[in-house]
A = this chain, B = another copy of it.
Amino acid sequence: MNPPSFPARTTHEEIEHGNTLQPKFGPDGLIPCITQDAATGQVLMFAFMNAESLGHTLRTGRATYWSRSRNKLWVKGEESGNVQVVRELYTDCDQDVLLIKVDQTGAANAACHNGFKSCFYRRLTSLDSADFRLEFTAERLFDPATVYKKK
């Protein structure tokens, strides 16, 4: 199915203060998307959408990204079952970023391919500028080897 025609970018005033979605897809056709858990506010992941995947997201209510590594539409959870049901979609002031709030579903209820609820499962141990050690802040919810088929 063809992607929908999103409204064209108009004026600075309309883009920043207006009431119409006018998403800015970059030269590569992509717009960054932050995905947040609708219930807890936890940031689950960060990925990109193109017009096709944004259209698919709105048409199906399921978060759909553009996989840059596989160069194809990426319906989140189509393989793992960890589907994201979209509850809200925000854009930022200059409309070059999207933010979606989702219900993360699936047996493991995990967004990350490494088996964690969120891709952001490590933080700097210390904010001392010379210390680059990370600590894990989450437990694995599934073993990727049992969920993803080898290809």
Taking Cβ atoms with an 8 Å cutoff, the residues of A that contact B are 4, 6-7, 16-21, 32, 34, 36, 40-43, 45-46, 55, 58-59, 61, 86, 88-93, 97, 99, 112-114, 116, 119-124, 127-130, 132-135, 137
Contacts and interface: CB of A to CB of B under 8 A. Distances in A.
A53 B90 CA distance: 27
Contacts of A58: 124, 127-129
Q: How many copies does the complex hold?
A: 2
Contact of A16 (B36, B42, B114, B132): B114
Given A19-B133, A41-B41, A132-B20, A112 B93 contact: yes
A41 B99 CA distance: 13
B129 A90 contact: no
